[in-house]
Structure 1
Amino acid sequence: MARANEEVEALLQEYADLIAISGGDAFKARAYEKAARSIGGYHADVSALDPKALREIPNVGKSIADKVVEFLRSGHVSAIEETRAAIPAGVRELITIPTLGPKKALVLHEELGISSVDQLLDAIHEERLRDLKGFGEKTEENILHGIALMQKAGEGRILISAAMDVAEQIVGELSAISGCTRCTYAGSLRRMRETIGDIDVLVAAERAAPFMEALGSLPYTAEVLAQGEKKTSIRTTKGLQVDLRVLPPESWGAGLQYFTGSKAHNIRTREIAVRHKLKLSEYGLFHAKSGRKITSETEEDIYARLGLPWIPPPLREDRGEIAAGLDDALPDLLEERDIRGDLHTHTDLTDGLAPLEDMVAAAAERGYAYYAVTDHAPNLAMQRMTAEKMLAQREQVRALDREHRGMRVLHGTELNIGPDGELDWPDDFLADFDLCVAAVHSHFNQSRDALTRRILRACENPHVSVIGHPTTRLIGKRPGLDADFDAVFEACARTGTALEINSHPNRLDLRDEDILRAKRYGVKFAVNTDAHAITHLPYLRYGVGTAQRGWLTKDDVINTWPLTRLRRFLRGEGTT
């Protein structure tokens, strides 16, 4: 279930938005926004902290700590409730539209009297927004896209990280019940899709009743939607549907295969079964004529009897995996254990939440062979970076590198790709970093040609090793850049610039579809967390899952390589 930290983060971010939309103190809004991020990424559960301990969290002062305590005790905060009440409900709805933002929402309300999504749609269709300063045809397109994103999010899909938290907790609870021989999650979550509609949980046991009853009585079960001998469905207190199926132990493999694959993948496997005069169901593989069971206990047995190798779950989307399996051409997919180090992380020197020493120590605990610190460069003015601060950090990094004999600590930076493709520092300064990650952080609405030229210029810079979160998308909140990414992929392959697979669940950028395209150009990739807190380092699993969905092997990913090979790549000396 969602950590208390995440609930408090969402509440404080909402308050920051409400302050901004009501024309309140911008400094106050920024303070609550920073506190929200600090609490969301804090390593300890805030529900277990007293007011004094809360104030030890970066950016959390007495006033904010008091509000957190009030929320944790009562479920609401009077000051936030009052601010909500002072703003029309429709206007509050406007700020939930991705790509709009509180400032533009305030302008729409004050200038045009818009206080609902429907009124906003009418105004766009009547082209009334174009008379407002800072609005235009491109703004209208972005708002319409944001409304579409919001409506899609309203269909009940949640980020993979939130679904995984729920699934793993339920699997843990059910696995402890006497009689359980196997238990896991299946469906789109097992396939590592970026968003999840509902969670499928499977149990192998002789008796189903104890598991059905246990699921319905869990403390976070809000409603039992259906309960029967073979299936129980609940809705959690967060509105997520969970479907539990209990299978006979001898049918485990068939059930796991059946409830994991996409609809299209399962149609393919059933078609193969029919061609072999067989019938495939969640209970096993049977002779079509006699009904005699052939196999059912493991997925490997099911696939083998169909003439296929075992197909990894992230590939089961009917995107060529059946043909590749028949040709013995399935890739040996990247695994999380193959990652030797994280090449994109931040500290509290810029917008991270933990000191350098703590981030490095946490990375060492994960068993990495190397680890890069890549704080923001000065063109993101809010980070207040200077060359002097960066050089001082380099000295600290070098000292920590000497201390951590089992892990090399690399000093890098995340550069901002400016509107014309310019970078933050001159080439002679960049040359002394171990690596440079470059990313777009602003001016998202440039023309397609301008955005493409901008990214290509960064790829051409010999000191840029990785393009970070390449499309800049935020799932359900911000669309990806409208650039010619085929041109970008070609340039990255030609210049030896890796493309990042950003593992943060809000990003997962590149997407699996982009990875598949880029791989055809010969691009190399870096699976990084972009961690801004110690709690973000485990997000690596989601980046690896996305890489698997893009059919990547460990040779495709530069941070699986030994350090000597990686350094050659970072110096522009090729990939071999």
Structure 2
Amino acid sequence: MARPNDEVEDLFQEYADLLSITGGDAFKVRSYEKAARAIGGHHEDVSTLDAKALRAIPGVGKSIADKVAEYFATGSVRAVEEARAKIPDGVRRLVAIPTLGPKKAAALYHDLGISSVDELVAAIHGERLRGLKGFGLRTEENILRGVELLRQSGGRVLLDAALAVADEIVAVLSAVPGCERCEHAGSLRRFRETIGDVDVLAAAHDSAPLMRAFRELPLVAEVIVAGEKKTSIRTAEGLQVDLRVVPPSAWGAALQYFTGSQAHNVRTRVLAVHAGLKLSEYGLFDAASGELIVSETEDEVYDRLGLPWIPPTLREDRGEIEAAQRGELPELVTETDLLGDLHTHTDLTDGVASLEDMVRAAAARGYAYYAITDHAPDMAMQRMSDEKILAQRERVRKLDGTVAGMRLLHGTELNIGPDGEVDWPESFLRGFDLCVASIHSHFTQDRATITRRLVRAAENPCVHVIGHPTTRLIGRRGPVDVDLAEVFRACARTGTALEINSAPDRLDLRDEDILLAKRFGVRFAINSDAHAVHHLGFVRYGAGTAQRGWLTKDDVINTWPLERLREFLGSAQAQQ
């Protein structure tokens, strides 16, 4: 289920969009956008807060606090419903297209009568947008890319949303009397970046209590099919969840089978056939006699096939079978291996929590060290200055080591400009413990230009990490057009680490890119890019993505002890 804070964030962002479409006051639009971000990033459950506590959230005044209370009391907000009634459904459908803002959607509807994605694509191909103010060739290209992204998503949800639902279901079903095992399976267990349907597997001698508890979950909006072995439901958000219940004796075979992927399962079934066996969700059987060989644990199934247990995140038929046969499966990095986070933000720029709150939350995770990397001045909307960043440095130095002994690194996230330059001169940058450099604009530059831009940033003697290297936002913005091999080659040469940005709508680098970069000998950093306290937990998704890229602890610089990390940061500068 979505966090109550996330529900309110989405509602107020929608309200801001609706106000923008109808020509509402720009200050009011910005106020609701700011409040949406602040509520979404607030560490407390806003559904439990009274009016005074709500107004204590930055950007939340009496009017907004009243709307939050109204939403949790009635399930809706009258002002939002009234704004929705003023906007035709067609315009609201167009707003869902990545890169197409609310004002352009309104212009398309009112000037050309376009009220669907298909109509918009046809209008672009028919050159009907050419005379419309604000719509040039580049705009048309961006819209078509946005439509492609929208269609590619195909109703799939981000990893974090699917995991939240799965975790809730597994927790409830595990407590049902008679349930011996319960776990999510499928692409979710493999940590794919987006999920179509959620697969949950349970083991019990009697499936009826589990199926009943599943159907009666508060998140269930519709029961699609109800059976003794399988029940499927749909949540209010439209996510399908399938529950399968198997006998405890078949648990291992079923978990292996329903984790997939299809290509991996084909390979394991072929191995079984060559050994005179038959593998199914019920077990590993002798092909001739039908006698059950093993089925209770995944380890037994893989062992009987002549393989060690293969981590779910590797089960994509990308060489894991061969590596297992050679005894060369990597010991994958895990979330618990992370000793610190090297890319986070505070309310000095676009974060919503104070430096002190972020430090305390990081220390509560058991980190040995933690970096604060607020934005640099080239992102003008963040209003950073030399004086502000130096004042923050003093606060960081005073806090260093005072919270659970955690050491603090003062850093910054630099903006990689159109020509590859970064915000501050080298003399100023050398005062930071750590510099992350990221692209935040000019995403549509050509391949050669983007590649030169990133290579130049990697060659900067003060840049330690390239942040979210392809800039993608899953389902909303595609990756920049870049020669990644050239960038990876440059990072390997200069000792610049590549970030695995753990924000669930980024997961950038993606797993395929990590696999390629690793071949060049690049080091990586698994970072949260947290803008709020609860974002620190995003590293769960980054660690899963790193596993899909076959990374070990040694590949990831923020699994290293602080002394080794400092040596890396220093040697990275020395190499340049």
Pairwise same-fold verdict (TM > 0.5): yes
**Distance apart, 1:575 and its partner CA:** 11
Q: What runs of 5+ residues in structure 2 fail to find an aligned partner?
A: none
Spell out, residue by residue over 1:52-83, the C-alpha distance to the aligned partner (whole angstroms, 9 max, x if none): 21111111111111111222222222222222
Greater mean alpha carbon deviation, residues 514-523 or residues 114-123: 114-123
1:539 counterpart SS class: helix
Spell out, residue by residue over 1:518-547, the C-alpha distance to the aligned partner (whole angstroms, 9 max, x if none): 111111110000001111111111000000
Q: Does 1:231 align with 2:230?
A: yes
**Distance apart, 1:134 and its partner CA:** 4.6
The whole-number CA distance in structure 2 between the counterparts of 1:500 and 1:573 is 15
The whole-number CA distance in structure 1 between the counterparts of 2:179 and 2:521 is 46
Q: Aligned in 2, Cα 1:107/1:461: closer, same or farther, shift over 3 Å? A: farther
**Distance apart, 1:113 and its partner CA:** 4.5
Spell out, residue by residue over 1:5-55, the C-alpha distance to the aligned partner (whole angstroms, 9 max, x if none): 111111111111112222322222121111111111111111111222111
The whole-number CA distance in structure 2 between the counterparts of 1:294 and 1:319 is 28
The whole-number CA distance in structure 2 between the counterparts of 1:479 and 1:152 is 11
The whole-number CA distance in structure 2 between the counterparts of 1:319 and 1:44 is 42
Correspondence for 2:188:
189
Correspondence for 2:403:
404
Check whether the contact 1:191–1:315 (CA below 8 A) recurs between aligned residues.
yes
**Distance apart, 1:156 and its partner CA:** 2.5
**Distance apart, 1:482 and its partner CA:** 1.2
Q: Residue 553 of structure 1 aligns to which amino acid in structure 2?
A: T
Q: Residue 25 of structure 1 aligns to which amino acid in structure 2?
A: D
Greater mean alpha carbon deviation, residues 4-13 or residues 128-137: 128-137
The whole-number CA distance in structure 2 between the counterparts of 1:441 and 1:103 is 22
The whole-number CA distance in structure 1 between the counterparts of 2:383 and 2:420 is 21
Equivalent residue runs for 1:557-572 within 5 Å: 557-572=556-571
Q: Residue 165 of structure 2 aligns to which amino acid in structure 1?
A: V
The whole-number CA distance in structure 2 between the counterparts of 1:462 and 1:82 is 55
Correspondence for 1:541:
540
1:218 counterpart SS class: coil
Correspondence for 1:117:
117
**Distance apart, 1:133 and its partner CA:** 5.1
Q: Does 1:262 align with 2:267?
A: no
The whole-number CA distance in structure 1 between the counterparts of 2:574 and 2:260 is 35
Correspondence for 1:382:
381
Spell out, residue by residue over 1:376-433, the C-alpha distance to the aligned partner (whole angstroms, 9 max, x if none): 1111111111100000000000000042362110000001111111211111000100
Correspondence for 2:290:
291
Correspondence for 2:23:
23
1:379 counterpart SS class: coil
2:302 counterpart SS class: helix
Greater mean alpha carbon deviation, residues 483-492 or residues 300-309: 483-492
Equivalent residue runs for 1:164-563 within 5 Å: 164-404=163-403, 406-563=405-562
Check whether the contact 1:374–1:437 (CA below 8 A) recurs between aligned residues.
yes
2:508 counterpart SS class: coil
Q: Aligned in 2, Cα 1:452/1:130: closer, same or farther, shift over 3 Å? A: farther
1:15 counterpart SS class: helix
1:403 counterpart SS class: coil
Correspondence for 1:90:
90
1:72 counterpart SS class: helix
**Distance apart, 1:191 and its partner CA:** 0.4
Greater mean alpha carbon deviation, residues 363-372 or residues 85-94: 85-94
Percent of paired sites with the same residue: 69
- Provide the TM-score with structure 1 as the length reference: 0.97
**Distance apart, 1:348 and its partner CA:** 0.7
Q: Aligned in 2, Cα 1:156/1:108: closer, same or farther, shift over 3 Å? A: closer
Q: What runs of 5+ residues in structure 1 fail to find an aligned partner?
A: none
Q: Aligned in 2, Cα 1:362/1:405: closer, same or farther, shift over 3 Å? A: closer
Q: Aligned in 2, Cα 1:404/1:73: closer, same or farther, shift over 3 Å? A: closer
1:567 counterpart SS class: helix
The whole-number CA distance in structure 1 between the counterparts of 2:320 and 2:187 is 16
**Distance apart, 1:107 and its partner CA:** 4.1
Correspondence for 2:2:
2
The whole-number CA distance in structure 2 between the counterparts of 1:258 and 1:568 is 45
**Distance apart, 1:130 and its partner CA:** 4.0
Correspondence for 2:42:
42
Check whether the contact 1:341–1:369 (CA below 8 A) recurs between aligned residues.
yes
**Distance apart, 1:485 and its partner CA:** 1.5
Check whether the contact 1:569–1:575 (CA below 8 A) recurs between aligned residues.
no
Q: Does 1:33 align with 2:39?
A: no
The whole-number CA distance in structure 2 between the counterparts of 1:335 and 1:574 is 28
The whole-number CA distance in structure 1 between the counterparts of 2:568 and 2:100 is 40
1:571 counterpart SS class: helix
**Aligned pair count?**
575
The whole-number CA distance in structure 2 between the counterparts of 1:53 and 1:141 is 46
1:572 counterpart SS class: helix
**Distance apart, 1:128 and its partner CA:** 3.4
The whole-number CA distance in structure 2 between the counterparts of 1:415 and 1:575 is 20
Greater mean alpha carbon deviation, residues 217-226 or residues 104-113: 104-113
Check whether the contact 1:462–1:572 (CA below 8 A) recurs between aligned residues.
no
Q: Does 1:60 align with 2:64?
A: no
Check whether the contact 1:568–1:574 (CA below 8 A) recurs between aligned residues.
no
Q: Aligned in 2, Cα 1:574/1:164: closer, same or farther, shift over 3 Å? A: same
2:409 counterpart SS class: strand
- Provide the TM-score with structure 2 as the length reference: 0.97
The whole-number CA distance in structure 1 between the counterparts of 2:208 and 2:371 is 51
2:571 counterpart SS class: coil
**Distance apart, 1:511 and its partner CA:** 0.6
Q: Residue 468 of structure 1 aligns to which amino acid in structure 2?
A: G
2:225 counterpart SS class: strand
Check whether the contact 2:469–2:498 (CA below 8 A) recurs between aligned residues.
yes
The whole-number CA distance in structure 2 between the counterparts of 1:226 and 1:116 is 32
Q: Aligned in 2, Cα 1:574/1:549: closer, same or farther, shift over 3 Å? A: farther
Q: Residue 394 of structure 1 aligns to which amino acid in structure 2?
A: R
The whole-number CA distance in structure 1 between the counterparts of 2:227 and 2:311 is 31
1:238 counterpart SS class: coil
1:473 counterpart SS class: coil
**Distance apart, 1:117 and its partner CA:** 2.1
Q: Residue 378 of structure 2 aligns to which amino acid in structure 1?
A: N
Greater mean alpha carbon deviation, residues 110-119 or residues 434-443: 110-119
Correspondence for 1:128:
128
The whole-number CA distance in structure 1 between the counterparts of 2:110 and 2:419 is 34
**Distance apart, 1:103 and its partner CA:** 3.6
Greater mean alpha carbon deviation, residues 236-245 or residues 422-431: 236-245
2:293 counterpart SS class: strand
Q: Residue 126 of structure 1 aligns to which amino acid in structure 2?
A: G
Equivalent residue runs for 1:93-108 within 5 Å: 93-108=93-108
The whole-number CA distance in structure 2 between the counterparts of 1:174 and 1:435 is 45
Q: Residue 171 of structure 1 aligns to which amino acid in structure 2?
A: V
What CA RMSD, in Å, does the superposition of the two structures yield over aligned residues?
1.6
